[in-house]
Amino acid sequence: MHIIDALKKQFTLEDNVLLIETKEATEHYGKTTFSTPVNIDCVIIIKKEITIGKVLKLANALQFNLYPVGTNRNWGYGSFNVCSDRPNVILDLGQLCEITGTDKELGLVTLGPGVTQKQLYEFLIKNNWEYMVPVTGAGPEAGIVSNALERGYGITPHNDHFYACTALKAFIPHPELCERQYESALSSFDQSDTDFIDKSYKWGLGPYIDGLFTQSNLGIVSEMTIRLAPKPEYFSAFYLRVFKEEQFEKTVELVKDILKNYAGIVGSINLMDRRRLISITTENPNRFDSNVLMSEQQIQDIASKNQLPYWLVVGSIYGDKEVVKATKKMFKRKAKTIGTVLFSDSKRIKAATYFFKRLPKVTFVKKITAQLASLQEGIDIMQGIPNQVALPLPYWRNPRIRPNKNNELSPSKDNCGLLWYAPLIKMTASSLNNFVRFIRETTPKYGIEPLITFTNLKHDCVDSTVPIVFDLHQPEQIKNAHDCLNELIQKGAKYGFVPYRLDVKQQENLDAEHMFWQTTNLIKDAFDPNRILSPGRYNPIATKENPINLKD
Ligand SMILES: Cc1cc2nc3c(=O)[nH]c(=O)nc-3n(C[C@H](O)[C@H](O)[C@H](O)COP(=O)(O)OP(=O)(O)OC[C@H]3O[C@@H](n4cnc5c(N)ncnc54)[C@H](O)[C@@H]3O)c2cc1C
C-alpha cells in the first residue's frame, strides 16, 4: 500500500492534518539549489503541535523516514537528504507559527517552529516591543527556530542564533516516548504558575540536552524561547572602502582590534572582496552565457564605473548617541591610513537619498536611487528589519530568471544553483590571506566565480561564506559545483579552514568511525532505535553492510 493511503487511514478529522501526494510533494518541497528535485512520497502538514507525537508514532509503526521542515528554505545546504530504503515523508511545521510574548521587558519571546522573520517582525511592531528580529540573509519568509537549529547566524547584536535560545520543547522519536513532550528539568521542577526560570535560564539543570536538537536528527522541536536584542537608542552603519589591495592585512588587523576592544558596541563586521561586491551591486555581465566567468577587464570596468574598492568593510555601531559618536570618531581615526569611511547617519548619505528621490527618473538617477535603496536595505538588516536584499545572489548565473525584489524570491523554486562553503578561520592577517589565495586558485578550476565574504563575529575566529553559484540547468555545472565544494572542504581542512555547517551531500562524507560520530550514533540509537527521523542528517552511518544500522 502506498504510504499516503496508509496515512489517510490513520488520521481523523480532529487531527486536522493535510496530506500532499507524491507529485505535488516533489514539486513543492523537493526542489533544491544543488540537485534535480528530490523524490518525496508524501507531505504531512500539521496544525497542532501535539500531532508531532502522533506522526512520530506512525513513522515507527509504519516504518517510514520522516523529515521535519520549518520553512524549507535551507538554500545552499539542503533541508533533507532522502534515503531509498523506505518511504520518505516530509513533516511540514510551517503552520505552527504561534508567537507568545514571554517577557516584554526582557525581550523573551516563545516561537512555534514555523514562525518566520516577517511574522516576528510584525508581532514586535504590533505590540510595541523595542527589540530586533534576529534576521538572516534568507529573507522575511525564512524561519527563526529552524535557523537557530541549524546554528545559523546573522549580523544583529545577537548574531549567534542558537546562543540566543534560552529554552525549548521537543518530541523525541523513541517509539515509547514519542508522544510525550520533552522539556527541561527546570520546567518540571518549577511549581509556580509561570515558566519564567526555565524560559530565561539557558542551561537548565543536569545534563544540557537542548543543544542535542541542533544540527542533528534526535528530535522535533515544537517551540523555542529566544532572547531578543533590544533596539539601540542610536545606530550607525560604517563602510570602509579599501582601494589598495596591499592594505588587506592592515584591514584585518583593524577589524580584529575593533571587535576585541569594542564588543557590545560594534556588532559583527563583514569584509567583502570586489567580485562579491560586484555580485551584489550589479548584474552579471555574462548573464546569458552562464559558462563564462568575469574577466579581469570586466571586473576593472565595473569596479571603476561603480567606484567599487578591492575590499569593503561593513559594520554597525549600537548605543546611545554619545557612544556612537565617540566610536565613529575612534573608527575614523584608526582607519585613516587604510581608506575612506562613510557612516549611514552622515549628512552625505541622507542628502543623497533626499536629492535623488526627487529627481526625474532618467537611467542614471534610477541606477543611483536603486543603489541607495540597496544600501538602506543593508542598513535595515543590521537593525533587525527583514528584507530580501541578499536574495538576488543565487540568481547571478541563472540565465532564465532575473530576480525582482518586489516579488517573493525563492532560489530553489526558480532553479538557481547555489552551494555554500562556510569555514571557520583563525583571525589573523596571514590565515585570511592564505584563505583568499586558496579560494581564488581553487574555484575558477571548476568554472566558479571566487566570491568572498568574511563575517567577523568575534575577534578570534572568522566565518567565511563562499557562495558557489552556478547554472542549475546544466548537469556539468552541477557536478563541477559539488567537486569544487569537495576540494574546498578537503583541502581547506589541511590548512585549518573548517566548516561550521555542511550541506546534506557533504554530511555523507563525515568519518563514521571517528569517536565523535560514534558517540552521536550511540545517542541516535537511544533516541531513535528505528532510525525513522531524518536518517543521515549530521549522523554518518556506521556500517556499510547495514546502512540504517537497525537493532535486531
Ligand atoms: C542569499 C542567502 C542568504 C542567506 N543568509 C543566511 C544568513 O545570513 N544566515 C544563515 O544562517 N543562513 C543563511 N542562509 C542559509 C539558509 O537559507 C538559512 O539558514 C535558512 O534560515 C535555513 O532554512 P529554514 O530556516 O527554512 O530551515 P528548514 O529548511 O526548515 O530547516 C533546516 C534544517 O533544520 C531541521 N529542522 C527545521 N525545523 C526543525 C524542528 N522544529 N525540529 C527539528 N529539526 C528541524 C530540518 O530538518 C532541516 O534539516 C542564506 C541563504 C541564501 C540563499
What is the CB-side half-sphere exposure of residue 102 using CA atoms within 13 A? 25
The CATH architecture one would assign to domain 99-230 is 2-Layer Sandwich (3.30)
The Cα angle at residue 445 between residues 302 and 493, in degrees rounded to 5: 110
* pLDDT, position 364: 55
- Say how many Å lie between the CA of residue 539 and the centre of ligand 1: 18
* pLDDT, position 544: 45
- Among 72, 73, 90, which is best to mutate for testing ligand 1, by the most ligand atoms less than 8 A from CB? 73
Q: How far apart are CA 527 and CA 534, in angstroms?
A: 12
Q: How far apart are CA 183 and CA 176, in angstroms?
A: 17
**DSSP assignment of 141-156:** TSBSHHHHHTT-B-SS
- What CATH code would you report for 234-345+391-504? 3.40.462.10
- Say how many Å lie between the CA of residue 143 and the centre of ligand 1: 7
E strand intervals along 142-250: 165-171, 181-182, 220-227, 229-230, 234-242
Index of the ligand 1 atom closest to the CA of residue 75? 17
- Say how many Å lie between the CA of residue 367 and the centre of ligand 1: 32
Q: Hey, whose CA ends up nearest to atom 50 of ligand 1?
A: 138
Helices 321-335 and 248-261: angle between axes, nearest 10 degrees:
150
Q: Is the distance from the beta carbon of residue 220 to the nearest atom of ligand 1 less than 6 Å?
A: yes
Answer yes or no: are the C-beta atoms of 251 and 335 closer than 8 Å. no
Q: Do domains 99-230 and 234-345+391-504 have the same CATH topology?
A: no
Give the number of other Cβ atoms within 10 Å of residue 427's Cβ: 21
Q: Is the distance from the beta carbon of residue 143 to the nearest atom of ligand 1 less than 6 Å?
A: yes
Radius of gyration of the chain (CA): 24
CA-nearest of 229, 225, 220 to 98 is: 225
Q: How far apart are CA 261 and CA 253, in angstroms?
A: 12
- Among 45, 110, 136, 156, which is best to mutate for testing ligand 1, by the most ligand atoms less than 8 A from CB? 136
Q: Is the distance from the beta carbon of residue 74 to the nearest atom of ligand 1 less than 6 Å?
A: yes
Q: Which cell numbers in the block locate residue 398? A: 541563472
* pLDDT, position 353: 62
Q: Which cell numbers in the block locate residue 497? A: 579552514
Q: Which cell numbers in the block locate residue 188? A: 518540571
* Bridge-based pairing state of the strands 461-470 and 417-421: antiparallel
Answer yes or no: are the C-beta atoms of 27 and 37 closer than 8 Å. yes
- Among 133, 141, 149, 456, which is best to mutate for testing ligand 1, by the most ligand atoms less than 8 A from CB? 149
Q: Which cell numbers in the block locate residue 490? A: 578537503
Q: How far apart are CA 95 and CA 47, in angstroms?
A: 6
Three-state DSSP state, 32: coil
Q: How far apart are CA 419 and CA 394, in angstroms?
A: 9
Q: Which cell numbers in the block locate residue 212? A: 542535542
CA-nearest of 295, 251, 298, 305 to 273 is: 251
Q: Which cell numbers in the block locate residue 498? A: 573548517
* pLDDT, position 551: 40
Q: Where are the domains of the chain?
A: 3-92, 99-230, 234-345+391-504, 510-552
pLDDT in tens, the chain (552 residues): 899 999 999 999 999 999 999 999 999 999 999 999 999 999 999 999 999 999 999 999 999 999 999 999 999 999 999 988 899 999 999 999 999 999 999 999 999 999 999 999 999 999 999 999 999 999 999 999 999 999 999 989 899 999 999 999 999 999 999 999 999 999 989 999 889 999 999 999 999 999 999 999 999 999 999 999 999 999 999 999 999 999 999 999 999 999 999 988 998 899 999 999 999 888 899 988 989 999 999 999 999 998 899 999 999 999 999 999 999 999 999 999 998 899 988 766 666 565 556 555 656 555 656 666 777 888 899 999 999 999 999 999 999 999 999 999 999 999 999 999 999 999 999 999 999 999 999 999 999 999 999 998 788 999 999 999 999 999 999 999 999 999 999 999 999 999 999 999 999 999 999 999 999 999 999 999 999 999 999 999 754 444 444 443
Q: Is the distance from the beta carbon of residue 146 to the nearest atom of ligand 1 less than 6 Å?
A: yes
What is the CB-side half-sphere exposure of residue 162 using CA atoms within 13 A? 15
Index of the ligand 1 atom closest to the CA of residue 113? 41
Name the pTM for this structure.
0.94
Three-state DSSP state, 167: strand
* pLDDT, position 371: 63
Looking at CATH, the fold of the domain delimited by 3-92 is given as 3.30.465
Q: Which cell numbers in the block locate residue 277? A: 561586491
Q: Hey, whose CA ends up nearest to atom 3 of ligand 1?
A: 137
Q: Is the distance from the beta carbon of residue 139 to the nearest atom of ligand 1 less than 6 Å?
A: no
Answer yes or no: are the C-beta atoms of 173 and 193 closer than 8 Å. no
